[in-house]
């Protein structure tokens, strides 16, 4: 009887466990996504944006929430029907500024006294609030030859009225990522709230502030006394071939109406310099810097600029990781920063006087660092393979980690996901390669499971411990697959030399690494069904899918998403020419042999593996003609192939219904080719 009662007691627990289900596409799009956040000056309140998506409406909406820094009192700032973003506290902590309809609004912390502060025809893309609360730094896209909002408006009206539907192009670069530039440039504008005057710091300049690419999310800032402004800009006339972002400073007193502000360049490298951040005591500007021009994935160092002496100092010269985002300690003695570190985005701190670096938090993917007013607590966003971004806190030595928000708690409680694992094996030249392994939900080690082999983009990128909303490893595993995601030669987080070794060797060591990982996995993990293996990749990962199509028959079927197929024609149609020219050692006429050597099109006659091809019409990084050539080739060769063409998408598939169609198509493609 006693045994029977014990079993009866456990039945509800068994039923609860079985009630969980694998992650679905609809689950993914039902999750709320935390955007930027800011901590109040007294460190008692956190403001953050949350985006929710409606599958039927096929779009998202952002709202601003407040929560106490101890995790209590979560509430929405207001009940606006419009999207709100980019919350920022005033220095006294009594007001919040944020964006609505591309204009800055302010309100009290209870949502009352909402006021529209700006009325720019060209709108506000991003902004900073001065420390005295009297001014704003604004980013807005303007016609550089106009010099006034009235002219910007009239120019747009004239374009709408013309009967000729044409773009007149006279320079590089004319489009970027997923948009045509249409003659506009991002300018930095100072707004004086009292006088309602706008001052364009880049008056009549054809350069973008912040730069079109390779900058940071922190590329313009006020000094602590509001008397100076630092910003990032690429000064070159042809930015399509240049990574030369530079850091500039300008005195606020020198900013005049309808005049270019007299800025001073403080960076020296011909590589990519960005992210100027003033120390709280006003003595230094810290910024990140790459030394090698043309190399967008060179190591990024942390540089200190002494504002009194004008001297620069590289304080991370001996550190073999690239510094990402940076934040000062309140006493200006230390800088906290993030860096790719194996499969993680880890948190470090450095003593600016001794150069001593300490790893504060290694695990998972961490970003958005902010410090409390006393410097004892670090606030940050963290995600991992089983958890979307949430806001956390920890002591400044990495201890006492606490989760502050838990906005997807109820949804996640019903989903079965197994945390990722990693393994290492020998790759090309005997170098060790780390890979992520994700097992399917309700995993049974006695069973055999098909495998999905994922190849990351970049090529200077990495698979990490994150909750990705497009290439989600847990969702790939959800249909009963073991997922293997290797970080081969070229991956970040394993030292700069490992990253550098992919350049000019696209189909060499990375391909050997990947095949070594594949062979190791099917040999050593007995639960992998070697007769049913599949591969998928995007961007450079798509390139590698196209490359292995002509070099191996290991896989039942593959997916090539926005992948390079013809290296020579890709050079002529992509927008950022510095990228292929660095990766292949020049233009096609300067180094044609290397373009030909690593060109998947040269080996397509060997193709046998069924391929699903995906392309977005507005992908200007790896343009659609790459997919057209690939599909035509496979069809002419009689190789089974299917082409998904998204007329409204770009390098990424971001609309909810498009994404659902994408996931279902990928799973259907693999299912069709199981043996």
Delimit the domains of the chain by residue range. 416-672
Weakly modelled stretches of the chain, pLDDT under 70: 1-18
The CB-side HSE value for 631 (13 A sphere, CA atoms) comes to: 17
CA torsion sign, 542 to 546 to 547 to 553? positive
Please give the Cα distance from 201 to 187 (Å, whole number).
7
- What's the length of the chain? 675
- Residues 645/618, Cβ–Cβ less than 8 Å: no
Residue with tokens 């999750």: 31
Please give the Cα distance from 249 to 20 (Å, whole number).
55
Please give the Cα distance from 378 to 336 (Å, whole number).
9
- Residues 335/349, Cβ–Cβ less than 8 Å: yes
Angle at 388 between CA 486 and CA 376, to 5 degrees: 105
Q: What is the pLDDT of residue 18?
A: 53
CA torsion sign, 334 to 339 to 345 to 346? negative
DSSP string, 32-96: -EEEEEEE-TTSSEEEEEEEEEETTTTEEEEEEEEEETTS---EES---SS-EEEEEE-TTSSEE
Q: What is the pLDDT of residue 79?
A: 78
- Residues 71/404, Cβ–Cβ less than 8 Å: yes
Q: What is the pLDDT of residue 163?
A: 87
- What CATH topology corresponds to 416-672? Rossmann fold (3.40.50)
CA-based nearest residue to 558, from 532, 530, 537, 543: 537
Please give the Cα distance from 324 to 487 (Å, whole number).
19
Q: What is the pLDDT of residue 2?
A: 47
Please give the Cα distance from 552 to 510 (Å, whole number).
14
- The SS3 call for residue 150 is helix
Helix, strand, coil shares of the chain, percent, nearest 5, are 20, 35, 45
- Residues 428/513, Cβ–Cβ less than 8 Å: yes
CA-based nearest residue to 140, from 101, 184, 83: 184
CB burial of 153-185 (b: ≥16 within 10 Å; e: otherwise) equals: eebeeeeeeeeeeeeeeeeebbbbebeebebbb
DSSP string, 370-400: EE-TTSSEEEEEEEETTEEEEEEEEETTS-S
DSSP string, 647-663: TT--SS--SHHHHHHHH
- Residues 674/644, Cβ–Cβ less than 8 Å: no
């Amino acid at each position: 009887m006693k045994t029977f009662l014990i079993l009866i007691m456990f039945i509800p627990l068994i039923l609860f466990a079985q009630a969980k289900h694998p992650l679905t596409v609809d689950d993914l799009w039902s999750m709320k996504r935390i955007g930027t956040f800011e901590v109040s000056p007294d460190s008692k309140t956190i403001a953050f944006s949350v985006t929710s998506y409606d599958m039927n409406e096929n779009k998202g909406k952002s709202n601003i929430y407040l929560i106490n820094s101890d995790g209590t009192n979560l509430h929405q700032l207001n009940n606006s029907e419009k999207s709100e973003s980019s919350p920022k506290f005033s220095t006294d902590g009594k007001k919040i500024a944020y964006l609505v309809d591309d204009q800055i609004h302010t309100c009290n912390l209870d949502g009352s006294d909402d006021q529209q502060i700006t009325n720019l025809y060209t709108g506000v893309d991003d902004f900073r609030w001065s420390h005295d609360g009297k001014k704003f730094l604004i980013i807005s896209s303007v016609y550089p030859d106009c010099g006034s909002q009235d002219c910007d408006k009239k120019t747009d009206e004239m374009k709408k009225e013309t009967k000729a539907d044409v773009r007149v192009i006279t320079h590089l670069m004319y489009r970027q990522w997923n948009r045509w530039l249409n003659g506009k440039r991002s300018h930095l504008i100072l707004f004086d709230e009292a006088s309602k005057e706008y001052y364009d710091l880049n008056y009549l300049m054809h350069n973008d502030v912040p730069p079109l690419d390779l900058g940071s999310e922190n590329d313009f800032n006020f000094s602590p006394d509001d008397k100076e402004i630092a910003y990032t800009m690429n000064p070159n006339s042809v930015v399509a071939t240049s990574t030369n972002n530079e850091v500039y400073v300008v005195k606020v007193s020198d900013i005049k109406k309808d005049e270019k502000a007299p800025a001073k360049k403080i960076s020296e490298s011909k590589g990519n310099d960005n992210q100027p951040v003033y120390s709280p005591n006003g003595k230094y500007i810290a910024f990140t810097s790459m030394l090698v021009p043309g190399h967008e994935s060179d190591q990024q160092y942390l540089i200190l600029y002494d504002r009194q002496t004008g001297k620069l100092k590289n304080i991370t010269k001996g550190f073999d990781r690239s510094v990402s985002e940076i934040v000062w300690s309140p006493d200006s003695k230390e800088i906290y920063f993030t860096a790719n570190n194996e499969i993680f985005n880890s948190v470090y701190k450095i003593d600016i006087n001794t150069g001593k670096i300490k790893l504060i938090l290694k695990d998972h993917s961490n970003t958005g660092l902010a410090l409390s007013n006393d410097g004892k607590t670090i606030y940050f966003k963290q995600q991992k393979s089983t958890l979307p971004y949430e806001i956390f806190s920890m002591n400044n030595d990495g201890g006492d980690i606490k989760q502050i928000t838990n906005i997807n708690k109820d949804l996640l409680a019903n989903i079965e996901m197994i945390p990722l694992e990693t393994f290492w094996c020998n790759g090309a030249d005997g170098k060790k390669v780390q890979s992520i392994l994700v097992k399917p939900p309700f995993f049974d080690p006695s069973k055999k499971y098909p495998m999905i082999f994922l190849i990351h983009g970049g090529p200077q990128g990495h698979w990490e411990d994150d909750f990705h909303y497009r290439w989600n490893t847990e969702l790939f595993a959800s249909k009963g697959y073991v997922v293997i995601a290797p970080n081969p030669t070229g991956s970040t987080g394993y030292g700069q030399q490992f990253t550098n070794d992919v350049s000019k060797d696209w189909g060499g060591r990375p391909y050997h690494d990947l095949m070594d990982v594949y062979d190791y996995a099917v040999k050593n993990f007995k639960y992998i069904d070697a007769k049913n293996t599949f591969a998928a990749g995007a961007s450079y990962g798509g390139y590698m899918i196209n490359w292995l199509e002509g070099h191996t028959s290991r896989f039942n079927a593959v997916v090539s998403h926005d992948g390079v197929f013809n290296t020579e024609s890709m050079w002529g149609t992509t927008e950022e020419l510095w990228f292929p020219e660095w990766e292949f050692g020049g233009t096609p006429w300067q180094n044609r042999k290397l373009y030909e050597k690593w060109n998947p099109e040269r080996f397509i006659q060997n193709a046998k593996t069924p391929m699903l091809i995906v392309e977005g019409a507005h992908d200007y990084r790896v343009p659609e003609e790459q997919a057209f050539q690939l599909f035509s080739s496979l069809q002419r060769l009689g190789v089974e192939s299917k082409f998904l063409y998204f007329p409204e998408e770009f390098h990424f598939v971001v609309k909810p219904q498009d994404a659902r169609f994408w996931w279902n198509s990928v799973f259907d493609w693999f299912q069709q080719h199981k043996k």
